Amino acid sequence: MQPMRRRQRGFPLLCLSVALLAAAALLPGAAVAEGVTPSEARRLRDEVKDMFYHAFDGYMKYAFPLDELRPLSCQGEDSLGGYALTLIDSLDTLALLGDKEKFGAAVEWVGKNVRFDINKTVSVFETNIRILGGLLSAHLIASDYATGMRIQSYDDQLLHLAADLAQRLLPAFDTPTGIPFGSINLKYGVDENESKITSTAAGGTLTLEFGILSRLTNNTVFEQVTKNSVRGIWSRRSKLNLVGAHINVFTGEWTQKDAGIGTSIDSFYEYLLKAYLLFGDEEYLYIFQEAYKAAMHYLHHDPWYVEVNMNSGATVWPLFNSLQAFWPGLQVLAGDVDPAIRTHDAFFSVWKKYGFTPEGFNLATSTVQNGQRSYPLRPELIESTYWLFKATRDYRYIDVGRDILASLQYGARCPCGYCHISDVETHKQDDHMESFFLAETVKYLWLLFDLAAGPDNIVENGPYKYIFSTEGHLLPVTPEIALVDEHCSYFGAFCNGSAARGYGTSASSTKYQKANYTQLDDIQTPSSHHPASNIFATRGYIKGVCPGLTHAQKLGISYSDEEGNVIEQTSESHEHHGESAVESSVQVQSSNIILISHPVASQQDQAFGRWSGTGDHADIVVTADSDSVSHDNTDGSLGVNTEELTKDTERSSKQSADEDVAQNLMSNEDIS
């Protein structure tokens, strides 16, 4: 065991251990909540629906067509690009609620009125997850009879808008590393004075939206530039397989070397797994496996997560920040449910203490972090609550949802919508409501209670499985998007079964038996009584096998540390008696793809929230058959240099028409 080292910001490691013990005292008891009746779950679901319409109608009445609502003063503001951001972000929530009338009216207005040929400098990250994702999700719903929300007059207007927007974002990717600039002007491209520093989340949270657009338009450029961005980040990881928070897109130098699962990094992890689940590209799964193992080894102090130096692994910041709360939901998708349960309990204990989660909670002092006292209506904890209930059917998560709903109703509700909380200790309200409140926060709460009531929505009962984007947008796993039979992929090497290229094929996926699993709806999780010890294939189709290549060669990625030294990737060899070389290769490499090992603390350590450096290892299987999730969220940076969408005279000439649209989209009555 190595000697303790002092962290960079003055917190000795011993202090962290004591702090984690103290923080564990916040954890709620392990008693399972009594099950709610379906009628009570329906009442909670309907209350969330009322919450949505209170905020949505407030936006349509007082803010539309500006980007966002100021719910205290009942006014609007342009915060991103000046193109009805909240309406676009809310489209698939309207569809999820079955509100065909408002969904149709909103889609029609967006198709006729939104244009991106404007002199606005916007965040590439936020524009992608909120606008591009919102347009694509609504397009896929509005154009498909199978969803029950097909709009008769719809003629791919939102898809055309999405393609135009993505085309305007493409110049941001023209960098030596392939990692995009953080901001771009939609009309004039990247400004010559644009910062060359961007966050890891901003560079790694583009694959879903751009990949779907490539599949729908048959233009591979969108998918390729985002894959190159992920490769640009991953190839510059440290020897510990950790990535930092901020990077120079020209030099590839890390300008902030703190590694974590929260602010500035969070959705990088999320999109690795989800890109695999949506597209079946095992390159993303392999990278996720390596990144996840490193995160669980260096960042996980059960049940909390800390930030460490990406090169040394030394703890630099013992902080829970609210964006970390998406992690248990991602772990459910990855099949690693037990640590997700413990971490969710820890995170919810902070909510219980204050009524909301602050942006930062210091684990060393068990107090709110100075300068991070606000709760901007974030959805991450609710998102993880939904996924844990979906996986376990433990009704204590309904109690969690009920507590969160009560906090929002009594603390955040204001005259025209729901307000940010500027201080979680005083519950002082702030005159702001970000679009993700309607795109995610309300959506996950509604899905949670609807699932308990007996689900009746396109996510649970629809024709497809859905992946949730980090903004909570519904992305269906359709044959058109997944393309699971188009090619045989193996670690990103597209073999097509071509013997001339030295590639073989093997139907070895049929050779593996499933481990002991507890079947819960469509999610398969390893049974807590029988740890998974066998391996089964991640996909049901025949893979092209490329024998003799290393992981680096198959991925086309160089492995380098900050000094540019190449690190060879070696895989452990196993003897397979009585099998051909091809079969042996498939088995070994399949094991590397889907098997995640992580330390499991002893029961005593788990009870006190302590990280144990020793103990048994449990094998966690990542499966492509589980339902999809969302995560959201932002790296904390918004678009910059926003201006008015049009001149005041132009806006006034459209005012009466926009008011008519808003009146049609707004109703004080619930849609049944």
Binding-site residue positions: 470
Check if 47 is active-site.
no
Q: Is 153 exposed, middle or buried (0-12, 13-18, 19+ CB in 10 A)?
A: exposed
Positive or negative: CA dihedral 61, 67, 70, 76:
negative
Residue 481, amino acid: I
> Among 380, 430, 450, 471, which one carries the catalytic annotation?
380
Distances (CA, A) of 34 to 31, 278, 289, 520: 9, 36, 36, 19
Check if 359 is active-site.
yes
Check if 40 is active-site.
no
Do 211 and 223 touch, CB atoms closer than 8 A?
A: yes
- d(C-alpha 335, C-alpha 331), whole Å: 6
Q: Is 233 exposed, middle or buried (0-12, 13-18, 19+ CB in 10 A)?
A: buried
Residue 372 sits at φ, ψ, to 5 deg, of -130, 50
Could you give the maximum distance between any two Cα atoms of the chain, in Å?
Answer: 80
Task: Tell me the binding residues for Ca(2+).
Answer: 470
State the DSSP string of 578-642.
Answer: TS-HHHHHHHHHHHHHHEEEEE---HHHHHTT---SSS-EEEEE--TTSPP-------S----S-
> Among 359, 431, 440, 632, which one carries the catalytic annotation?
359
How are beta strands 466-468 and 474-476 bridged, if at all? antiparallel
- d(C-alpha 223, C-alpha 166), whole Å: 11
| Tokens of residue 654, six digits | 């459209």
Distances (CA, A) of 60 to 67, 469, 659, 663: 10, 24, 8, 7
Strand extents, DSSP E, 413-515: 413-414, 417-418, 420-423, 428-430, 466-468, 474-476, 489-490, 493-494, 504-506
Do 546 and 490 touch, CB atoms closer than 8 A?
A: yes
Beta partners for residue 429, in sequence order: 421
| Tokens of residue 426, six digits | 């005083």
Beta partners for residue 493, in sequence order: 490
> Among 89, 99, 126, 430, which one carries the catalytic annotation?
126
- Return the residue matching tokens 């190159």: 228
| Tokens of residue 501, six digits | 């290229």
E strand or H helix at 91 = helix 85-96
Of 52, 50, 71, residue with least CA distance to 62:
71
Residue 188 sits at φ, ψ, to 5 deg, of -110, 0
E strand or H helix at 335 = none
Check if 486 is active-site.
no
| Tokens of residue 169, six digits | 């974002």
Catalytic residues: 126, 266, 359, 380
